[in-house]
Amino acid sequence: MPSENSLSIVILAAGEGSRMRSKAAKVLFPICGRPMLSYVLDAALALDPDRIVVVVGHKGDDVVEAIRHTWIPQNPRAAKPGVLEFAWQKEQKGTGHAVMCAKEVLESSSGLMLVLYGDTPLLSGDLLQGFRDYHVAKGASLSLISFTPEDMGAYGRVVRNEQGGVERIVEARDLTPAEAGISEANAGMYITRTGLMFDLLSEVKNDNAKGEYYLTDIVHIARGRGMQVSAFTAPDAQAVQGVNDRYALSLAEGAVRRDILRKLSLEGVTVRDPSSTYIDFGVEVSPDTVIEPQTYLRGATRIGCGCVIGPGTEIIDSTVGDGSKIWFSVVEESIVGKNVQIGPYSHIRPNATLEEGALVGNFAEVKNTVLGKGTKAHHHCYLGDSTIGAGVNIGAGTVTVNYDGTRKHRTIIEDGAFIGCNANLIAPVTIGKDAYVAAGSTITDDVPPLSLAIARERQVVKEGWVTQRREKGR
């Protein structure tokens, strides 16, 4: 049976978000690599709730799919089995109606209900815990979160009575001259008993210009019954403000990004220029690594100790071993071993593995390839669909010709081989251990170990050719 001390959290995520001017669901807009709704879920989970119900509507299938398959809680151990559920708001009839759509899921709940919004990614568990503690300590029937924004704009104002309790919420368009100076705004987040919430909502009417059921109406309904309504003032106004447009989205991302960089810095990572460094939520960077300016670390990226990353570098879903240096380059979905050097201006494409001490220099591209320990590809080469052993030298201009127009083929270069400049290796082909390929060769057949392969035209010199040509042109 549900406990009287249980907590259910309803997160409203059904809105269309028209000011984002997008066909996508607003709550799925990414902030530092994850949907903004994920941050609200993390904040909610910090309260150890028995139920979290996300009310979806516009693009609801996308929201359900994204959260079920991509939300990795900040503290996975805190998530109880089955804690997350979804409810549907099939028609957009206002915030009060959205909460009512969770009634069927929460019919048997008897504890507290906390109502949040899916577009407030800066919420923290500490703030919400403070809100719950405040509500319990006040003994109020209903509590809300208020804040003082820099620009009051269209926010509803909190009107308090002489005892400091909330008397009513006045929408900006309905303010009287006496109320216009109120600087306390309503954040729209509420906590009360679950049964009382649905009881109050049952009296909400839609006799307004939009024909919608507004959640804010529960305040004057509760006061009309003589109930105490209290307001918890958020210590951080930005934390409770919703992301309503793309400018607000950029501000929220900036705040999350600063928190990520601050945390890494306190853990022993040098971030040379936080204003030009972009690191996604969940990226791991070990101590004594230096992140240079204009660097982007995205997705499931892991950076080891003592690395230098950047400047001008993007690493996506990749692992980088201790002591490696990557500058002015892109690394995607690859594994970079210890003490590897990449760059400048290299592109490590998906499914590449660069083993310890490998070196990939300027204007080189590596894709679906293993570079063995200590192998060097200093500059101007393409290495695709290849297995390259240890201690191999790849000369400038080398190309593994892997595509025949229909299928990709693999090149194998064994340990200690030496590939001269401007060599074309036509796959499938194997270059044996310690073999040499002469510069300018186009290799179509396997080269045995300890052999030299030369595949080019013999040089012909025609002395006096230029003089003869000029004389004929007179």
Query: Model confidence over 222-252: pLDDT tens digits?
Result: 999 999 999 999 999 999 999 989 999 999 9
- In the predicted model, is pLDDT for residue 266 greater than 60? yes
Query: For 136-150, 203-217, 259-273, 380-394, which range has the lowest pLDDT when averaged over its residues?
Result: 203-217
Tell me the pLDDT band of 199, cut-offs 50, 70 and 90.
Answer: very high
pLDDT reported for residue 108: 77
Tell me the pLDDT band of 166, cut-offs 50, 70 and 90.
Answer: very high
**Can you tell me the mean pLDDT for 448-472?**
93
Q: What are the helix and strand counts (H, E) for the chain?
A: 8, 39
Tell me the pLDDT band of 388, cut-offs 50, 70 and 90.
Answer: very high
Quick one: tokens of 210? 């939009």
* DSSP E strands, 254-323: 270-271, 277-279, 284-285, 290-291, 295-298, 302-303, 308-309, 313-316, 319-320
Cis peptide before 344 (omega within 30 of 0): yes
pLDDT reported for residue 351: 98
> Which residues make Cβ contacts (< 8 Å) with residue 452, sequence separation at least 6?
435, 436, 437, 438
- Tens digit of each residue's pLDDT (9 = 90 or more) over 6-34: 899 999 999 888 888 998 999 999 999 99
Pick from 415, 418, 416, 419: which is nearest to 401 by CA?
419
Contact between residue 340 and residue 324 where contact means Cβ atoms under 8 Å apart: yes
Tell me the pLDDT band of 336, cut-offs 50, 70 and 90.
Answer: very high
Element spanning 247, H or E: helix 246-266
pLDDT reported for residue 210: 81
**Can you tell me the mean pLDDT for 386-402?**
98
- In the predicted model, is pLDDT for residue 1 greater than 50? no
* Torsion-angle region of 123 (φ positive above 0: left; ψ -120 to 50: alpha; else: beta): beta
Cis peptide before 311 (omega within 30 of 0): yes
> Which residues make Cβ contacts (< 8 Å) with residue 107, sequence separation at least 6?
none
Q: What is the pTM of this model?
A: 0.90
pLDDT reported for residue 69: 84
Contact between residue 238 and residue 187 where contact means Cβ atoms under 8 Å apart: no
pLDDT reported for residue 374: 98
pLDDT reported for residue 36: 95
- In the predicted model, is pLDDT for residue 2 greater than 50? no
- In the predicted model, is pLDDT for residue 348 greater than 50? yes
Rg of the chain over CA atoms, in angstroms?
31
Mean pLDDT of the chain: 93
**Can you tell me the mean pLDDT for 146-164?**
86
- In the predicted model, is pLDDT for residue 461 greater than 60? yes
- Tens digit of each residue's pLDDT (9 = 90 or more) over 307-333: 999 999 999 999 999 999 999 999 999
- Tens digit of each residue's pLDDT (9 = 90 or more) over 62-120: 999 999 888 878 766 566 677 899 999 999 899 999 999 999 999 877 799 999 999 99
What phi, psi does 41 have (nearest 5°)? -60, -40
CA 77/CA 66 separation, integer angstroms? 20
Which residue numbers are catalytic? 379
pLDDT reported for residue 4: 60
pLDDT reported for residue 107: 80
Domain boundaries defined on the chain: 7-240, 269-453
CA 282/CA 33 separation, integer angstroms? 9
Give 7-240's CATH code, choosing from 3.90.550.10, 3.30.470.20, 3.40.50.720, 3.40.1030.10: 3.90.550.10
* Torsion-angle region of 249 (φ positive above 0: left; ψ -120 to 50: alpha; else: beta): alpha
Give 269-453's CATH code, choosing from 3.40.50.1100, 2.160.10.10, 3.40.50.300, 3.30.450.20: 2.160.10.10
Percentage of residues in the chain having pLDDT higher than 90: 81
